[in-house]
C-alpha cells in the first residue's frame, strides 16, 4: 500500500522514532515501536483487504462522526487513524495517515 503522512510529525516518528511535535513527543517508546510496526504492515499490504488477515490490527472502518476514517490498533489503548483511497482500478491501495489517538480520551 502507498503510505502518505498528513502531518510531518507522523513522518518523523516513523523515520526517526522521535518528534518535536507537542502531541506526539511524549508517546512511550513501546508505542512508537509498535506504530512503526503497524505502518510497516500497512506498507506491506497490497490492498486494504489484506489488513483483515492481520488480527492484531483490529481493522475497522468508522461510522458516525468519524465516517470515512479507517482505524487500526497500535495496542489496546492507541489507534492509528488513516484515510484510504482507491487507485484507478478501484482497488484500495493508498493510505493517508492522519493521527495517533488514545482510545476513549
Running along the chain, 105 residues long, what does each successive block of 10 average in pLDDT?
Answer: 94 95 94 97 91 94 92 95 86 91 80
Phi, psi of 45 (to 5 degrees): -70, 135
Q: Are 47 and 93 in contact (CB under 8 A)?
A: yes
**Maximal C-alpha separation, the chain:** 41
Residues ≥6 apart with Cβ < 8 Å to 85: 92, 94, 96
Q: What is the pTM of this model?
A: 0.91
The candidate with the shortest Cα–Cα distance to 80, out of 69, 71, 93, is: 71
Q: What is the pLDDT, as a whole number, of residue 105?
A: 65
CATH 3.40.980.10, applies to 2-102 = no
| Sole residue written with cell 487507485 | 87
Amino acid at each position: 500500500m502507498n503510505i502518505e503522512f498528513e502531518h510531518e510529525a507522523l513522518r518523523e516518528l516513523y523515520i526517526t522514532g522521535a518528534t518535536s511535535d507537542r502531541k506526539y513527543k511524549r508517546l512511550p517508546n513501546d508505542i512508537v515501536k509498535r506504530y512503526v510496526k503497524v505502518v510497516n504492515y500497512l506498507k506491506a499490504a497490497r490492498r486494504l483487504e489484506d489488513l483483515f488477515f492481520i488480527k492484531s490490527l483490529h481493522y475497522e472502518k468508522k461510522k458516525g462522526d468519524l465516517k470515512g476514517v479507517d482505524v487500526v490498533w497500535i495496542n489496546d489503548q492507541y489507534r492509528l487513524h488513516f484515510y484510504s483511497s482507491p487507485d484507478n482500478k478501484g482497488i484500495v491501495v493508498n493510505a493517508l495517515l492522519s493521527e495517533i489517538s488514545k482510545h476513549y480520551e
